[in-house]
Amino acid sequence: MGIALLIVCLGYLILAAIIFFITKKLVKSKIIVVLVALVLILYPFRRVIFYQTLFYFYDRTPLQEIHQTVESPGSVYWEDNVWPGFDEYGRNWMVKNYLDGVHLKVLALNGDDGKIYLYRATAEDFVESNKMRPAVQKAKEQYDQAFADAGNRLTKEVVTYQLPYLDMLTKFQKQRKEETVPIFKQPEIYSSRQGLPPMHFRVDFNLLPKTLVINNDYDMLHADRISIFDAKSNQEIAYSQRYMAHAGYLSKFSGEQPAYDFKLGDIQVYELDDKLLFEYARVRDKLEVTKNKLDRDFYQLLQ
C-alpha cells in the first residue's frame, strides 16, 4: 500500500510539473502562472484546508458539556439512532460490561431489528463471581507489588505471582460470563420506548441535522451528538458532538483504510456515557481487562 501511495505522489508531481511547464510556455501573464503554481501546490492539501476551516467554525461553540455525573444510575435506556440500534453482539457486550445488579439494575437498548430489549439484574445474580473477587483482588495486589519490587520488569520471580493470578482471573471471567448468560437470554421486549417502564436516565445518540456539508448524500462530513438526560425531569445533563470527514481517495492506499480521516470532538462517542454513567464499570473491570496484558507480558518473557 505504501508503494502504491508513493507511485500516486510521484505521478502527481510529474503531472504538476508538466502542467506548470506548459502554462509557463503558453501564458504570458505572470499572475496566471503564479496562480497555477499555487493551485498545483495546494491541491494535494485541499482536504486539510477545507476541513480544518470547517472545524475552526464548528469548534467556536462547545463540543461537550457535562453538568452532572452519576455514581449509580440504577436504570438506563440507551437509544442508538446512528448505526442504528444494537445488534445481538452489542447488546451482549453492554449487558456483560455494565449490568452489575448493584449500580445498574435495569438496562434497555434499542435493537437493530426495531425492538427494544430490557434486561434486569440483581446482586444475587453474581453471587458466585463476587465470592471469587476478594481472592482475585488479593492475587492482583501481590502481583502488582512483586512487579513494582522488580523495577517494573517481568522476572521469573514475578511470574510466580503472575501465573496464579492469571489462573484465578480466568476462572473469575468464566464464572462472570456464565452468570450473564441467563440474564441476556431473558429480555423483556417492547415495540417502542413509550411502553418502557420508568427509567432514571436516557442516552440518545443521533445524527445532527443535514446541511450542505453535514450528513449529506455526498459523504462529506459525518456529524452526530450523544445526549444524556435525567429521564425523570427530562433535563439534559451532558452532551458531546463530533465531526468526522469521510476518508478521501488517498486513504484507500493506506494499510488500515480508515472510514474517516479528519476528526473533531470525542472520537469514541461512548466515552461520554463511560465517564458520566458507567464509571463504576471501569473500576470494576480493572480485574477483568488486565488479562490480555498479563498474557502478552508473560509470552514476551518466555521469548
- pLDDT at position 211 is 93
Residues 7-51 have pLDDT tens digits of 766 776 787 678 867 887 787 788 887 887 777 787 778 888 989
181 and 41 in a common domain: no
119 and 157 in a common domain: yes
Query: What percent of the chain is modeled with pLDDT above 70?
Result: 85
Residue 293, pLDDT above cutoff 60 = no
Residue 233, pLDDT above cutoff 70 = yes
Which of 43-52, 185-194, 197-206, 225-234 is the least confident region?
43-52
- pLDDT at position 8 is 62
- pLDDT at position 262 is 87
Provide the 10 A C-beta neighbour count for residue 151.
7
196 and 125 in a common domain: yes
Number of DSSP helices (H) and strands (E) in the chain, helices first: 9, 9
Q: 58 CB contacts (<8 Å, ≥6 apart)?
A: 243, 264
Q: 100 CB contacts (<8 Å, ≥6 apart)?
A: 121, 123, 126, 280, 281, 284
257 and 178 in a common domain: yes
Look at residues 10, 34, 58 and tell me which one is the last residue of a structural domain: 58
- pLDDT at position 256 is 52
Confidence of residue 56 (pLDDT cuts 50, 70, 90): very high
Residue of higher predicted confidence among 140 and 281? 140
Residue 290, pLDDT above cutoff 60 = no
Q: What is d(CA 207, CA 219) in angstroms, rounded to the nearest whole number? A: 13
Residue 95, pLDDT above cutoff 80 = yes
300 and 188 in a common domain: yes
275 and 247 in a common domain: yes
- Using alpha carbons only, how large is the chain's radius of gyration in Å? 26
Q: What is d(CA 154, CA 250) in angstroms, rounded to the nearest whole number? A: 42
148 and 49 in a common domain: no
Residue 292, pLDDT above cutoff 70 = no
- pLDDT at position 18 is 86
Structural domain including 29 reads 2-58
Which of 22-26, 150-154, 277-281, 285-289 is the least confident region?
285-289
From the centroid of its chain, how far is CA 7?
34
Residue of higher predicted confidence among 95 and 45? 95
Which of 19-23, 39-43, 80-84, 289-293 is the least confident region?
289-293
Residue 152, phi-psi category: left (phi > 0), alpha (psi -120 to 50), beta (remainder): left
125 and 43 in a common domain: no
Residues 101-150 have pLDDT tens digits of 999 999 999 999 999 999 999 999 999 988 998 998 899 899 999 999 99
Instruction: Kindly report the average pLDDT of the chain as a whole number.
Output: 85
120 and 36 in a common domain: no
41 and 174 in a common domain: no
Give me the number of domains the chain comprises: 2
83 and 33 in a common domain: no
190 and 122 in a common domain: yes
Which of 80-94, 203-217, 289-303 is the least confident region?
289-303
Confidence of residue 224 (pLDDT cuts 50, 70, 90): very high
- pLDDT at position 28 is 77
Looking up cell 430490557 gives 118
